[in-house]
Amino acid sequence: MMEEFAPMTADSVREMLEGAGAEAMVRSGRSDSYGAPRDFTFEVRGVFANGMGLQIVARQFNYRDPWEAEGRVNDMVDVSLLKDGAYSPLPKGYPFFQGTDMEEGVGETLLREIIDCVRELNPKLYLLQELTGDM
C-alpha cells in the first residue's frame, strides 16, 4: 500500500522552516490558470543560523478527484541543500544528500527530518572532512 502524504502549501513549508529557526522566503509559480509559464507551484528558501540553507520546490499538483475541481495538492516536494549560497551535498554520515545536492519526492514527515538535520549541522564538518580526505 502506498503511503498517504499530507498536502503541503507554500505557507505550511515556510512555517516549518521558520518554526525551526530559519529565515524563509516564498515565491509562487504556477497560478490557477493553465497558461501560467512557470513549471513549479511554489518555492520556499530558508537559511539557518549556521549558514546552511534549503530550497524546497513543489513542481506540480497532484489531483485528488477526477475533474480537477477540488483537491489540488502538493504532497511531495524536491529539496536542495545550499551551503554558502551554492548547491552542496552533506558531509558523509548523514541520511540525506549523500553524493547529491537534491532529495526528490519528499513527503512532509521526511521534510521535517531534513529540516532538523540541516538546522543542527555544524558547517565545520565540511572542512574537517576535506582535511581528512573524506570529501
Query: How would DSSP label each residue in 23-67?
Result: EEEEEE---SSTT---S-SEEEEEE-TTSEEEEEEE---EESSTT
SS3 16: helix
Q: What is the pLDDT of residue 1?
A: 38
Higher pLDDT, 15 or 39: 15
Residue 1: inside a domain: no
Distance CA 40, CA 16 (A): 19
| φ, ψ dihedrals at 34, nearest 5° | -70, -15
**pLDDT score at 76:** 83
30-78 pLDDT, tens digit each:
555 555 545 567 889 999 999 999 999 987 665 555 554 455 567 789 9
Q: pLDDT band for position 2 (50/70/90)?
A: very low
Domain of 30? 10-131
Helix (H/G/I), strand (E/B), else coil: 102: strand
pLDDT per residue as tens digits for the range 88-124: 999 888 999 998 999 998 989 999 999 999 999 999 9
Q: Which residue has the higher pLDDT, 65 or 21?
A: 21
Single pTM value for the model: 0.81
Residue 74 lies in a domain: yes
Residues in CB range of 61: below 8 A, 6 or more apart: 30, 41, 72, 73, 74
Total count of domains within the chain: 1
Coil/strand/helix, residue 15: helix
3 inside domain:
no
